[in-house]
């Protein structure tokens, strides 16, 4: 599903650029769909670069696919514009990372959990790198304040037999469940847990770093409500850029269709690319990369710009709760776009848990002070 959302958003951005007087060039999209087959990404990119003479590639959702593409974009000096949030610990000169880095997605969510829900957490996720690394970060932060990871349960990708884990959750009644399942596994788990919790008269809070609006619709109204989600984008973001963006999207894809963080991020990728080309006056990779650095774009999700230190983006982390109608209600956002920290090297565990705002300390210039969003 995400691939389709991302392609729709990329094409919408391309049409807008091609129809706009602000750009004196037009994009000619060349589409390839490796269909999630990991080895196919290398072949598709080799083909785009060698046969179509493509300079800039927008795409890849999973880290496995990105890792296939990086060798070839590095070897041929092309740029990959990567829209998806990911687990970090990477920084290629030939990738512009437009999705959130771990300090922009999982860290604010775990801090919220510690401050407002519990120090003890039950983790369930898909058996692959995203979950492994999210669980590591969760464990590191939680244990630094004396909390516990009560369990770490893994399901194979695509697995929808979730009853044994739902039973365990109901039996143990953890104060909170951290869900890093993806796709159908996550939908099946949320539906089954909601049904079982309702039968047992329990309310078990759930956290996610990846849930998005179209998924809420797939899960179904009852089971999808109440999940505390961390993301740089929600369809419900106020502000003229996003309202106009959502209106254009719905005009194009129907009033019932919903935006997603990954779709919006793909749109941002194309816009960042177009603006960098305009600024550079060239499509040449080194010039575009230089032009993209620190060049602010007021995107639907707010101001975004590339940090040339690591080619990731300054983004505004947000926390929201899923509500009926396949939407999220945002209850927190960072005061300003947050510097990307793909290696979490600025994560200071000693300041977590001590949630006192140290405004007198000039050394702690943290941009993620809590701010209530009405």
Partner 1 sequence: MTKPSPFSVRGRRALMVMRDEREISIVRRQLNRLGMTISEHDPADAPPGETFDVIVLDADTIPIKSDLATAWKAGAPIIALIGTETPSRLKWLLDLQPASFLVKPLRSAGLYTALVVAFDCAQRRMDEAAYVERLEDRIRSRRVVFAAVLQIMRVHGLTETNAFTLVRQTAMRHRTTIEQLSAEIIAAGGMPNRTTRTA
**Measured from the CB of residue 17, what is the shortest distance to partner 1 in angstroms?**
33
Sites for partner 1 among residues 14-43 (CB under 8 A):
39, 42
- Residue keyed to tokens 């959502």: 246
Closest distance of CB 62 from partner 1, Å: 12
Contact between 347 and partner 1 per CB under 8 A: no
- DSSP labels, 55-122: SEEE---SHHHHHHHHHHHHHTT-EEEE-S--------TTEEE-SPPHHHHHHHHHHHHHHHT-SEEE
Q: Could you tell me the smallest distance in angstroms from the CB atom of residue 71 to partner 1?
A: 4
| Residue nearer to partner 1 on the CB measure, 55 or 90 | 90
Instruction: Check residue 71 for interaction with partner 1 (CB under 8 A).
Output: yes
Q: Considering beta carbons, is residue 63 or 258 the nearer one to partner 1?
A: 63
List CB contacts of 260: < 8 A, sequence separation 6 or more: 2, 5, 212, 213, 214, 215, 233
- Residue 127 binds partner 1, judged by CB under 8 A: yes
Residue 358: what are its φ and ψ, rounded to 5°?
Answer: -95, 75
Q: Map the footprint of partner 1 across residues 290-329, applying CB under 8 A.
A: none
Which parts of 80-99 interact with partner 1 (CB under 8 A)?
Answer: 87-90
Q: In angstroms, rounded to a whole number, what is the distance separating the alpha carbons of residues 98 and 342?
A: 12
Nearer to partner 1, 127 or 351 (CB): 127
Residue 129 beta carbon to partner 1: minimum distance, rounded to whole angstroms: 6
Q: Would you say 137 and 178 are in contact if contact means Cβ atoms under 8 Å apart?
A: no
Least separation in angstroms between CB 187 and partner 1: 22
In whole angstroms, what is the distance from residue 345 CA to residue 240 CA?
35
Instruction: For residue 333, give the H/E element and its range.
Output: strand 327-333
The SS3 assignment for 372 reads: strand
Q: Binding to partner 1 by residue 7, rule CB under 8 A?
A: no
Closest distance between partner 1 and the C-beta of residue 229, in Å? 22
Residues shown for the chain? 374
Q: Kindly state the DSSP code that residue 287 receives in the 8-state scheme.
A: H
Interface stretch with partner 1, choices 125-133, 190-198, 202-210, 364-372 (CB under 8 A): 125-133
In DSSP terms, 303 is beta-bridged to 298
Size of the site for partner 1 (CB under 8 A): 19
Question: What is the rounded CA–CA span in Å between residue 3 and residue 108?
Answer: 26
* Region binding partner 1 by CB under 8 A among candidate stretches 9-17, 121-129, 159-167, 292-300: 121-129
Where b means 16+ CB within 10 Å and e means fewer, 27-41 reads beeeebebeeeeeeb
Q: Which is nearer to partner 1, 135 or 327 (CB)?
A: 135
Q: Which of 132, 218, 283, 321 is in the footprint of partner 1 by CB under 8 A?
A: 132
Establish if 46 lies at the interface with partner 1 (CB under 8 A).
Answer: no
Residues 321 and 186: their CA atoms lie apart, in Å, by: 17
Q: Is 152 a residue that touches partner 1 (CB under 8 A)? A: yes
Is there a contact between 122 and 362 (Cβ–Cβ < 8 Å)?
no
Q: Is the Cβ of residue 142 or residue 291 nearer to partner 1 in the bound state? A: 142
Helices (H), the chain: 2-18, 38-50, 63-75, 102-116, 129-144, 163-172, 184-200, 213-219, 221-224, 240-253, 261-280, 285-292
Residue from 3, 11, 128, 323 binding partner 1 (CB under 8 A): 128
Among 94, 135, 185, 326, binds partner 1 (CB under 8 A): 135
Q: Which residue, 134 or 188, is less far from partner 1 as judged by CB?
A: 134
* Residue closer to partner 1 (CB basis): 73 or 320: 73
- Which is nearer to partner 1, 331 or 343 (by Cβ)? 343
Which of 13, 14, 34, 63 is close enough to bind partner 1 by CB under 8 A?
63
Return residues touching partner 1 (CB under 8 A): 39, 42, 63, 67, 70-71, 87-90, 127-129, 132-133, 135-136, 152, 154
């Amino acid at each position: 599903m995400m691939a389709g959302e991302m392609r729709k958003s990329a094409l919408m951005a391309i049409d807008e650029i091609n129809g706009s007087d602000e750009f004196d060039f037009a994009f000619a999209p060349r589409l390839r769909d490796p269909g999630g087959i990991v080895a196919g990404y290398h072949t598709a990119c080799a083909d785009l670069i060698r046969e179509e003479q493509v300079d800039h590639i927008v795409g890849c959702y999973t880290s496995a696919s990105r890792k296939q593409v990086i060798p070839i974009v590095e070897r041929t000096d092309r740029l990959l514009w990567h829209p998806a949030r990911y687990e970090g610990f990477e920084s290629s000169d030939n990738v512009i990372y437009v999705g959130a880095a771990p300090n922009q997605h999982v860290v604010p969510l775990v801090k919220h959990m510690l401050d407002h829900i519990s120090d003890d957490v039950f983790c369930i996720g898909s058996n692959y790198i995203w979950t492994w690394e999210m669980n590591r970060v969760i464990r590191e932060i939680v244990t630094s304040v004396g909390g516990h990871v009560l369990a770490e349960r893994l399901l194979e990708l695509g697995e929808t037999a979730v009853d044994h884990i739902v039973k365990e959750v109901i039996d143990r009644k953890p104060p909170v469940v951290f869900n890093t399942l993806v796709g159908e596994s996550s939908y099946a788990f949320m539906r089954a847990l909601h049904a079982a919790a309702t039968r047992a008269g329990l309310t078990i809070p759930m956290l996610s770093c990846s849930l998005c609006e179209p998924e809420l619709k797939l899960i179904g109204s009852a089971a999808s409500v109440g999940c505390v989600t961390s993301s740089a984008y929600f369809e419900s973001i106020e502000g003229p850029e996003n309202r106009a963006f959502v209106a254009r999207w719905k005009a194009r894809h129907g009033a019932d269709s919903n935006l997603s963080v990954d779709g919006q991020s793909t749109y941002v990728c194309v816009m960042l690319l177009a603006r960098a080309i305009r600024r550079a006056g060239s499509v040449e990779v080194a010039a575009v990369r230089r032009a993209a650095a620190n060049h602010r774009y007021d995107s639907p999700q707010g101001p975004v710009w590339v940090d040339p230190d690591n080619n990731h983006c300054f983004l505004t982390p947000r926390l929201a709760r899923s509500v009926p109608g396949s939407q999220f209600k945002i209850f927190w956002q960072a005061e300003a776009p947050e510097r990307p920290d793909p290696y979490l090297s600025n994560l200071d565990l000693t300041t977590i848990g001590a949630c006192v705002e140290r405004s007198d300390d000039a050394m702690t210039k943290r941009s993620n002070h809590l701010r209530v969003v009405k």
